[in-house]
Amino acid sequence: MAPSPKFMEEWTLRYIVMEGMNVRKFCIFMFSLMLSLTAHALGEEFTIVADIPVFSFETPIALKIKVIDKKTNTVAERARVIFEAIPGSSPPFTHNDEFAYYRKFIANNHDDPDVIQYFEYLKTSKVNRRRAYRKIATYQPTTGFHEATYLLDRAPYQIKAFVIDENGDIHNSETVYPHRAHCAYFDVMNIELTKQYLHYIALHSKKDEWDAVNEYRDLLDETLSGTHGLYYMVRGHHGENLSAFEGGLKQLSAQIDNRAKSDTINGVNTLLQVVQKNEDYFGTIDYRYDSEQNGTIIKIWDNTYDKPMTDVIVIIQQNYSIEKEMENPSLISLQKPKEGKYHATLSFMPEGKYAQELGGVEYFAKGVNLESITSPTRIFAYYSLGDLEIPSKFITEELNVQH
């Protein structure tokens, strides 16, 4: 049994469940059925209608089940519903591939072979039952649905529903509702850590502190290859080419081995530019000076999802000092790079000029002209705030910060 999706507001797809249709048939015949809430049987006692989102983006989602008593053909108000959401492993598709399938899906290209393959994977892939989320739904008398709200972490999920009748008997629905939870915004935290370690390599090489240089080179290598590191995010997750970075890193490593101070510093400067280009693939910090308002208007743009970012804390760090940052770093490693996803975090909020929110998607730094500034400056943007279950993220852009 497979769900039949329909398009809802703001890029949301929800399932309307039907009995006896496999995924391929559901994809082909979806259009003739998407306007009706088609129910399916749950044993001899009940018919259930499900309204389950297919996709989410780090926002709470409502799982809804309407339970209909077959004998009376009325909503079973006194039934109880338990939802089970079981996470799976990362799909064998790049982020770009997944979003290509997603866009085809919302464009109603449900008979596309790639979409069918993707849907089959979500529905049948291996799951980790030890991490299953279960919630008791609350009955909503105004709609007749039993509803539970979830905030699902980024993973594929298989969602099931259990109905408990008035006698306490549990009825297990065999229908699996696939769901894919994506990031709300891009993640470059560990790419930011890469930038920091490159700076530290340059600073220590200036002082001929080669033991410290080698220590940060090791940390750099671990960060690059760790989960959500540069290699994983750019090549593994998005399928992009990293030959420019890898070639530059190989040269830098040789320069470090030779203890060539000037070449090492130049190699770091070159790699910082390459890393920034890699980071720009995910998101960019755009700015323009407004002479009438005497300040800089800043916009944080998510290139991964092609949308502006809201609710961002934007701080302008003028006269930014890499030396002071190294002595008391605001950007630190939370875990050893190979031990966990989110090994880059903040030890404290950086000091600087706060940019006020301007119209929801823009931020205004009064008295600051980033277009003509000549002193070392870092623009710091802190986002995805407010939920303990979702790690906050950050991105920076450095101006006039070279060695």
H/E stretch holding 394 reads strand 393-399
Beta bridge partners of residue 313, listed in sequence order: 382
Q: What is the model's pLDDT at position 47?
A: 82
- Compute the average pLDDT of residues 246-259: 94
pLDDT tens for 322-372 read 999 999 998 887 766 555 554 677 888 888 999 999 877 899 999 999 999
Contact 95, 237 (CB under 8 A): yes
**In a 3-state reduction of DSSP, which class is residue 293?**
coil
How is residue 64 written in tokens? 């809804």
- Domains for the chain: give ranges and CATH numbers: 3-181 (2.60.40.3760), 189-399 (no CATH)
Q: At what angle do helices 189-206 and 243-257 cross, to 10 degrees?
A: 30
pLDDT tens for 174-213 read 788 888 887 766 677 778 889 999 999 999 999 999 999 9
Residues 6+ apart with CB under 8 A from 366: 293, 294, 295, 356
Q: What is the model's pLDDT at position 91?
A: 78
Q: What is the model's pLDDT at position 106?
A: 75
